[in-house]
Amino acid sequence: MNQPNDLILRTTTQLIAFLLLGFSVYLFFAGHNAPGGGFIGGLTTAAAFILMYMTYGYEKIKKILPINFRLIAVVGLLITLLSGIGAIAFGEAFLSQTSDYFNFPILGEKHLATAMIFDLGVYLVVVGITLTIILSIATDSDDDSNEDVGV
């Protein structure tokens, strides 16, 4: 198979992947009171990774991002569980959330919520599960030589 000339795709991916990662962080912190939150932030991060996988191929990105995405999903679930158990430690019901306003030296008054910890867990679970599903479908193959490719 001849190598297609995809210079435009490679050039735009360099720009758009970083735009997507920055936008996902913005969406993650915009949650609760505006459109955003852990789920859609995680999906945007996964979209950026998948764009890089589509452009540069599986092997190259595997070298650049040596991340075990199944482990990320499990760590996210653990963070979510611990944020629920933390409420029991303060004598509240499981998964109770609270929030308060704090003053920071440069940033000024900010609204901090413990739901952000729960959201961080959701973010990691969504990134891990999405990439695990898509990469295990994409690297599925009949011949046995690719057995160690499994995500």
Partner 1 sequence: MLEEFGDQLLDIVLIICFIAMTISIFLLVIRAFRGPSNADRAVAIDTMGINMMAITGLASIQLVTDKLNDVVLLIGILLFIGTIAIAKFIEKGVIIDQNHH
Please report, as ranges, the residues that interact with partner 1 according to CB under 8 A: 1, 3-4, 9, 16, 19-20, 23, 27, 30, 34-36, 40, 44, 47, 50-51, 53-54, 57-59, 134-135, 138-139, 141, 146, 149
Contact 55, 4 (CB under 8 A): no
Q: Tell me how far, at minimum, the Cβ of 93 lies from partner 1, in Å.
A: 31
Q: Which of 92, 98, 124, 94 is nearest to 113 (CA)?
A: 98
Q: How many residues does the chain have?
A: 151
Contact 132, 70 (CB under 8 A): yes
CB-wise, 67 or 149, nearer to partner 1? 149
Q: Tell me how far, at minimum, the Cβ of 85 lies from partner 1, in Å.
A: 33
CB-wise, 5 or 103, nearer to partner 1? 5
Q: Tell me how far, at minimum, the Cβ of 92 lies from partner 1, in Å.
A: 31
CB-wise, 36 or 128, nearer to partner 1? 36
- Provide the sign of the torsion angle of the four alpha carbons 129, 133, 138, 141, taken in this order: positive
CB-wise, 75 or 138, nearer to partner 1? 138
Enumerate residues 6+ apart whose C-beta is below 8 A from 32: 113, 115
